[in-house]
Copies of this chain bind each other. A is one copy, B any other.
């Protein structure tokens, strides 16, 4: 049996006090209320909620007249407009790459419930009503955990200086990652070491591939959602091979499943491309 002193209890409670992610997010949220969400800012901020969902257009949609389908995009854009003070949405065409989806949505907000409100409204449009959601993952953004200025200065510098220098990305990938209990039971130092080994061989690919990370432990059946953009599929394949070849990979119980690949388009174009047909 563990004998615990009052002191140990205090430390434990103190640690909880350090969790100000939500407060931070709430503060940012208030600052944004006046106008549309600031894209650059929300993509860089911690405490932001990220929501990834994939959809398949139901066969019934193509029984609607071409005219009815033509109006679908306008309805969708009206819903985006209605929610623009709280969320930003990115759309991707996955048809032709994925069996389980035709398109992918990525939504950022300072409040997960605001994202939900948008999606409920979206599903009430003609296009949304004719879409089956086939995957939905949620996560939150955080500052760097391991490769920080303090813990790993050289690699941190490498990460900061390795800027994307490729053509405008045409492809995006959403890949969930879940780690096993052995990983989480490593000490912080051991995990830092593995993350350094993970980071080194990938630095070279940061000129060709953009990355963003979302944390999901407990929020969903994944620990992380990793998101990538690239114009160069060969470079992206090389990056993923480099990540397969480090010991960290041995702790993965989920890496992909699904790997979702899409091309980057405006939401309007995605809806229009999926509304074609006799």
Contact = CB atoms under 8 A, between A and B. Distances in A.
A2 B234 contact: no
Contact of A16 (B95, B113, B121, B204): B204
Contact of A93 (B116, B215, B244): B116
B259 A240 contact: no
Nearest to A107: B96
A235 B19 contact: yes
Contact of A51 (B4, B96, B121): B96
A219 interface: yes
Contact of A219 (B152, B258, B259): B259
Contacts of A13: 162, 203-204, 207
Count the copies. 5
Contacts of A124: 276-278
A250 interface: yes
Given A14-B204, A185-B246, A129 B277 contact: yes
A141 B223 CA distance: 29
B236 A219 contact: yes
A234 B47 contact: yes
A278 B207 CA distance: 47
A120 interface: yes
A183 B79 CA distance: 48
A49 B249 CA distance: 26
B58 A59 contact: yes
Given A2-B193, A116-B93, A217 B240 contact: yes
A133 interface: yes
Given A9-B203, A185-B247, 8 more contacts: A1-B152, A2-B197, A16-B207, A17-B204, A20-B234, A97-B138, A140-B237, A223-B244
12 contacts: A1-B192, A5-B154, A9-B158, A12-B200, A13-B162, A16-B235, A96-B118, A112-B233, A124-B278, A129-B277, A181-B250, A185-B246
